[in-house]
Amino acid sequence: MAKEWFRLTAHEIRDAVLGGAVSAEEVTRSFLSRIEQVDSKVCAYVDVWRDAAISRAREIDARIRKEGFRGALAGVPISIKDVLCTKQGYTTCCSKILRGYRSPFDATVVERLWEAGAIFLGKTNMDEFAMGSSTENSAVQLTRNPWNLDYVPGGSSGGSAASVAADEAACSLGSDTGGSIRQPAACCGCVGLKPTYGRVSRYGLVAFASSLDQIGPFTKDVEDCALMLGTIAGRDPRDSTSVDLPVPDYCQALNKDIKGLRVGMPREYFTEALGGEVREKIEEAIRSLEKLGAEVVEVRLPHTEYAIAVYYIICTAEASANLARFDGVRYGYRSPRATDMRQMYHLSRSEGFGPEVRRRIILGTYVLSSGYYDAYYLKAQKVRSLIRQDFVKAFEMCDVIVTPTSPTPAFRIGEKTDDPLQMYLSDIYTISVNLAAIPGLSMPCGFTKGGLPVGLQLLGKHFDEMTLLRVADAYEKNRGFDIGHPPIN
């Protein structure tokens, strides 16, 4: 029986390929077989690049033989969220309005993974234009949680998280505007990192909310997370918001003790709203950190109660501006029913966008309109500054902050589709991180009695992903249980 290479982590695959234990082609075929076997149930992918992946694997094998190629991700199969531009395949943001669109260029992060020797398996499903917390807003299909197919995988990067959890990719790329990497990572039991805003180039990311969006990895363990971040991070002259700071070797954060580190527990995140089983697992994780020598201190984030309102004013305002370009004129969907220009704009956007995207565009246009700008948008920006200052003050008391990633584990498919506010509250513990532009990491810290993963969130100071990875790695190596694999055939 052929070895199940799809079960391994990215660093294990890379070491096996570079060490000659297996070819990149054999590894790639193993993942492609896995996709054929289980993706009809999980539906993580919207486009699988089988032939291109095999061709790329053969190219990597040849480079290793002839050139001694030693790429950091040599032979590692990776999936890509459909919000990132790729010359290969389509880039649709899982929206009808971009159906059939082919990008003429690759996103910077895609280029950097390619240069490191990665093999791209295809594009993953997502909430349309990254707007959602369950991947139920996709115009393409419904992705299911690999741990229980009746439950959502989280969102908006649900397909990326599910592809890693179901062993259909060694790693994946996602985007995080208000929790869209960390929340699905929690739901699917994998590691997900939102880097500091500016640490990773956004060039080639189809914009939702430009001051909040950030690209990051989904991985099976913390070492892979460090490896992926080190590959995609760094200044990009094509993105004026990317920061010109040295990129450390994030793998140097691994295998370190955390004695003496101060871990902050924000009082505002541990209220009655936190589900009992989730609270239990988070508190167990905090006790584990204490046993490893960390000092737990209470911190305050007093403006947390305003985060949801602030986020849904700012993100919808920016979405309204960013999505104005999809008008049926230059590219994308154009309504065949339009008889004049006014109708072309109206019908193309009404028919091309799904209900959640339309809702957010309308709300964003409203808060930016004359007479409401000062009352809503300007005030939200001022409160955003207060939220950012809360974190600055909290980090004077601690080195990292520990919180739940989500107030509940994954919920049933269809459970919240008729109640947008309840859906928005799924991100209550993640959105402040984007507003403050700090890094956040989610990792599994156990399972509910029903067998669903629970996510632990670690938050760090600006550009201090090293400490986040150090704490996450120490916890992972000492948490006393193995995540295992979802029970899908």
Condensed to tens digits (0 to 9), the pLDDT of residues 343-398 reads: 999 999 999 999 999 999 999 999 999 889 999 999 999 999 999 999 999 999 99
* Domain range for 168: 5-268+279-298+403-478
Same domain, 360 and 451: no
Question: Residue 349 and residue 352: Cα distance in Å, rounded?
Answer: 5
Residue 430 CA to residue 269 CA, distance in Å, equals 11
The whole-angstrom separation of Cα 404 and Cα 410 is 13
Q: Residue 138, Cα to own-chain centre: how many angstroms?
A: 16
Calculate the average pLDDT of the chain: 96
Of 392, 412, 428, which marks where a domain is finished?
392
Residue for token pair 């994308």: 332
Do residues 373 and 407 both lie within one domain? no
Q: What is the pLDDT of residue 155?
A: 96
3-class secondary-structure state, position 84: strand
pTM of the predicted model over 0.95: yes
Q: Which entry of 95, 138, 180, 348 is annotated as an active-site residue?
A: 180
How many Å apart are CA 248 and CA 84, to the nearest integer? 25
For Cα atoms 200, 203, 208, give the angle at the middle one, nearest 5 degrees: 95
Task: Report how far residue 315's alpha carbon sits from residue 360's, in angstroms, rounded to the nearest whole number.
Answer: 8
406 carries an active-site annotation: no
Which listed residue (23, 79, 81, 348) is catalytic?
A: 81
Q: Does residue 409 sit in the same domain as residue 324?
A: no
Are residues 290 and 354 both part of a single domain?
A: no
Q: Is residue 242 annotated as part of the catalytic site, yes or no?
A: no
Cβ-contact 403, 427 below 8 angstroms: no
Q: Is the pLDDT reported for residue 275 higher than 80?
A: no
Q: What total number of domains does the chain contain?
A: 2
Same domain (yes/no): 137, 30: yes
CATH code at position 447: 3.90.1300.10
In a shared domain, residues 168 and 192: yes
Query: Is pLDDT of 77 > 80?
Result: yes
The amino acid at residue 209 is A
Q: What is the percent of the chain with per-residue pLDDT over 90, rounded to a whole number?
A: 94
DSSP 150-161: TB---SSSHHHH
Is 66 annotated in the active site?
Answer: no
In percent, how much of the chain has pLDDT > 70? 99
Of 358, 392, 426, the position where a domain reaches its end is 392
Which one of 335, 366, 392 terminates a domain?
A: 392
> Comparing C-alpha atoms, which of 23, 33, 27 is closest to residue 10?
27
151/88 same-domain check: yes
Tell me: do 193 and 152 sit in the same domain. yes
In this predicted structure, what is the pLDDT of residue 98? Answer: 97
Closest C-alpha to 299, from 331, 258, 327, 267: 267
Same domain, yes or no: 141 and 236: yes
Q: Could you report the per-residue pLDDT of 142-154, keeping only the tens digit for each?
A: 999 999 999 999 9
Same domain, 25 and 85: yes
Dihedral class, residue 267 (left if φ above 0, else alpha if ψ from -120 to 50, else beta): alpha
Is residue 66 included in any domain, yes or no? yes
**Residue 353 belongs to some domain of the structure:** yes
- Residue 344, classed as helix, strand or coil, is helix
Instruction: Confirm whether 486 is domain-assigned.
Output: no
Residue 184 φ then ψ, to 5°: -65, -30
Query: Please, what sign has the CA dihedral across residues 67, 70, 76, 82?
Result: negative
Task: Dump the DSSP string for 289-317.
Answer: HHHTTPEEEEE--TTGGGHHHHHHHHHHH
Among candidate residues 156, 163, 242, 432, the one labeled active-site is 156
- Model pLDDT, residue 1: 42
